[in-house]
């Protein structure tokens, strides 16, 4: 099995979290379900991922580089045209029930399309859309909830291509934070022919970046990422885009929830940052 070494590391409490850690809610906030996809491609400098830097005005992870994704919506629980491993397979991978598993997959594909224009869908099991530019106007309509993702697929004779996704990691926001997410990380290779559309309004910068250079920038303090993103980048960087979904099929991973550690007068965040490639 291809399993990450899950050794936990203590890091000094980030300044952005210190006030929250010192003044946590009386009862932890229930985390909301969320999905994200690490969309990758192979480039001249090795595997690349599509990363977005969240606007500094955002309430969660402001100014941090993240993968496309977002929260699960009630509509994501509805059945959609579907090709690939069925909901029971995803339920086993994510250790959850079938309805929730379906919603996590649908949310991952929907959110990625809304934020990037990349759509993991096609008319049959051997075809994936090669050009999504004509669907560009639908991204804003989906985000505004003026149209439903299920209807977009049905009206165009498309099916969600669940076989193009792999399950990679599962993270839960620390208990002391006021906004918490129970997030499943998927991986997928950029479909041949597709290109990223206009940048999401939630981001002030977006780019395809070689993960080797991304990690060097993180180590040098030139870019900011949360621990789940750092760990995922380190793990994904060991592979190629061509093999990433197959690699994901052989992975096992625990649910990781970073926790507050108090050592004398010092506060630490105990978390997993991944093994350096």
DSSP state letters, 54-99? EPTT-SSSTT-EE-SEEE--GGGGS---EESS-HHHHHHHHTS-HH
Q: Is the pLDDT of residue 67 over 70?
A: yes
Average pLDDT, integer, range 59-66: 62
pLDDT-derived band at 4 (thresholds 50, 70, 90) equals very low
Helix axes 87-94, 98-116, angle to 10 degrees: 90
pLDDT-derived band at 203 (thresholds 50, 70, 90) equals low
Q: Is the pLDDT of residue 56 over 70?
A: no
Do the domain assignments include residue 1?
no
**Rounded CA separation 173/150 (Å):** 29
Percentage of the chain with pLDDT > 70?
92
Residue range(s) defining the domain that contains residue 53: 9-271
Tell me what pLDDT residue 199 has.
Answer: 63
Mean pLDDT (the chain) is 90
Do the strands 46-54 and 203-210 form a parallel or antiparallel pair, or are they unpaired? Answer: antiparallel
**pLDDT tens, residue by residue, 215-243:** 998 888 888 889 999 999 999 999 999 99
Identify the weakest region by mean pLDDT among 47-56, 126-135, 213-222. 47-56
**pLDDT tens, residue by residue, 240-256:** 999 999 999 999 999 99
Do the domain assignments include residue 4?
no
Do the domain assignments include residue 2?
no
Do the domain assignments include residue 110?
yes
Q: Give the count of domains, the chain.
A: 1
**pLDDT tens, residue by residue, 153-185:** 999 999 999 999 999 999 999 999 999 999 999
Tell me what pLDDT residue 196 has.
Answer: 87
Do the domain assignments include residue 175?
yes
Do the domain assignments include residue 134?
yes
Tell me what pLDDT residue 1 has.
Answer: 32
Do the domain assignments include residue 276?
no
Tell me what pLDDT residue 54 has.
Answer: 61
Do the domain assignments include residue 277?
no
Tell me what pLDDT residue 62 has.
Answer: 46
Tell me what pLDDT residue 202 has.
Answer: 62
Greater model confidence, 13 or 201: 13
Tell me what pLDDT residue 20 has.
Answer: 87
Q: Is the pTM of this model over 0.75?
A: yes
DSSP code, position 30: P
* Residue 131, number of CB atoms within 10 A of its CB: 10
Average pLDDT, integer, range 62-67: 78
**Rounded CA separation 211/48 (Å):** 5
Tell me what pLDDT residue 21 has.
Answer: 87
Tokens, residue 110? 């929907």
Buried b / exposed e over 141-180, threshold 16 CB at 10 Å, is: ebbeeeebbbebbeeeebbbbbebbbbbbbbbbbbbbeeb
**pLDDT tens, residue by residue, 72-128:** 999 999 999 999 999 999 999 999 999 999 999 999 999 999 999 999 999 999 999
CATH number of the domain where residue 31 is located = 3.90.79.10
> Do 50 and 208 form a contact (C-beta atoms < 8 A)?
yes
């Amino acid at each position: 099995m291809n399993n990450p070494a899950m050794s936990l590391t203590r890091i000094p409490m980030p300044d952005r979290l210190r006030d929250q850690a010192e003044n946590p809610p009386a009862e932890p906030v229930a985390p909301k379900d969320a999905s994200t996809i690490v969309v990758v491609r192979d480039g001249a400098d090795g595997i690349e991922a599509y990363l977005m830097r969240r606007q500094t005005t955002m309430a969660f992870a402001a100014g941090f580089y993240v993968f496309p994704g977002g929260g699960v919506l009630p509509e994501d629980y509805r059945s959609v045209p579907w090709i690939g491993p069925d909901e029971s397979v995803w339920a086993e991978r994510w250790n959850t029930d079938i309805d929730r598993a379906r919603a996590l997959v649908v949310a991952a594909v929907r959110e990625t399309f809304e934020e990037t224009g990349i759509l993991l869908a096609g008319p049959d099991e051997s075809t994936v859309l090669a050009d999504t530019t004509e669907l560009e106007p639908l991204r804003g309509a989906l985000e505004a909830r003026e149209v439903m993702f299920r209807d977009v697929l049905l009206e165009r004779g498309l099916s969600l291509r669940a076989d193009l996704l792999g399950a990679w990691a599962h993270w839960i926001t620390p208990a002391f934070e006021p906004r918490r997410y129970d997030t499943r990380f998927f991986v997928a290779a950029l479909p041949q022919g597709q290109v990223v559309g206009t940048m999401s309004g939630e981001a002030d910068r977006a780019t395809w970046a070689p993960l080797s250079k991304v990690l060097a920038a993180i180590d040098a303090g030139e870019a900011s990422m949360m621990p789940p993103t750092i760990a995922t980048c380190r793990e994904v960087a060991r592979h190629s885009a061509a093999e990433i979904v197959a690699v994901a099929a052989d992975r096992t991973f625990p649910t990781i929830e970073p926790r507050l550690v108090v050592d004398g007068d010092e506060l630490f965040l105990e978390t997993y940052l991944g093994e350096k490639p």
